[in-house]
Amino acid sequence: MSSFKDPNAFADPEDSKLVAEAKKVTSEPEEYTYTERDVILYNLGIGATEKELQWTYEGDDQFAVLPTFGVVPQFAASSGLPLDWLPNYNPAKLLHGEQYLSIKAPIPTSGELVNEARLLEVLDKGKAAAVTTIVETRDKHTGKVIFENQSTMFIRGAGGFGGKRSGNDRGAASAANAPPKRSPDAVVEEKTSPSQAALYRLSGDSNPLHILPEFAAIGGFDKPILHGLCFMGIAGKHVLKTFGPYKDIKVRFAGVVYPGETIVTEMWKEGSKVIFSAKVKERNATVLAAGAATLVDGAAKAKL
């Protein structure tokens, strides 16, 4: 087994005592069972269409899971670690900052998985805390790691506990991915549906922020917003369709998308990496920054 289970696996001498103790906490393993129906629901939730039978019809010879599905099984485990040890912790002030997904093995189209979550890094940003959790997702029966996710949350008002202010280099998971100073190598546009968030929430994120207007208003939004992991999936689908399969993908959430808006993904191929960003066409607002995916074989594939 990996050092993941070692209570000191993610210890850091620069951590404050508060953080050092919190890092020793391991969550109960969270099981996630899914069928081909869940795969199709997820694929539809990030905009796969009835013409793309490899993603929407279980009887297709090429039937497959879109790779960003990897953020779904880990979701409950990632959000299950306690954060109330942070000073002035208020879950309403939590923002999803970054997401990194590493795909370690072929993704089955149905299966039984087990997720284990740990605190990876906690930074004191003064007025806020930046908390990164790491989740390992294994096949329940073989023990093989299928996915690793790293999720960074910003909790406004929860800083001032001491310890590190800036994070360690975590390779692809923390890379800055600045777009090159040239026109994108590819641009893909996709209009989301007004019911996109209502559909995507059926893949496991039932936060009322994405469906209830009065709840969205409390958060300061004119109407319910699209899940960040949904438009990450849409951009990830654009990378896949343009350059082929990838083994990891990382994004920084930089803005909101309202269901019905058009997502424009700009992509630059740099060696085995596709750097990308996404914006909302209607408002010319950047919604994903610092994005990159590492291609499986390093070479760009022909378009699917």
Q: Write out the catalytic residue numbers.
A: 205, 210, 225, 228
3-state secondary structure of 247: strand
* Distance, CA of 278 to CA of 259 (rounded, Å): 15
- Provide the angle, in degrees to the nearest 10, between the axes of the packed helices 36-45 and 228-243: 90
CB 55, CB 233: distance < 8 Å: no
* Distance, CA of 267 to CA of 247 (rounded, Å): 17
* Distance, CA of 68 to CA of 247 (rounded, Å): 10
| 3-class SS shares of the chain: helix, strand, coil, % to 5 | 25, 30, 45
Residue with tokens 């350059």: 243
Of 2, 142, 12, 161, the C-alpha closest to 88 is: 161
Residue with tokens 């013409």: 51
Q: What is the 3-state secondary structure (H, E, C) of 14-28?
A: CCCHHHHHHHCCCCC
Q: Which two tokens stand for residue 91?
A: 């879950």
List, in order, residues 6 or more apart from 176 with CB less than 8 Å away.
Answer: 290
3-state secondary structure of 60: coil
Tally Cβ neighbours within 10 Å of residue 49: 10
Residue with tokens 């208020």: 90
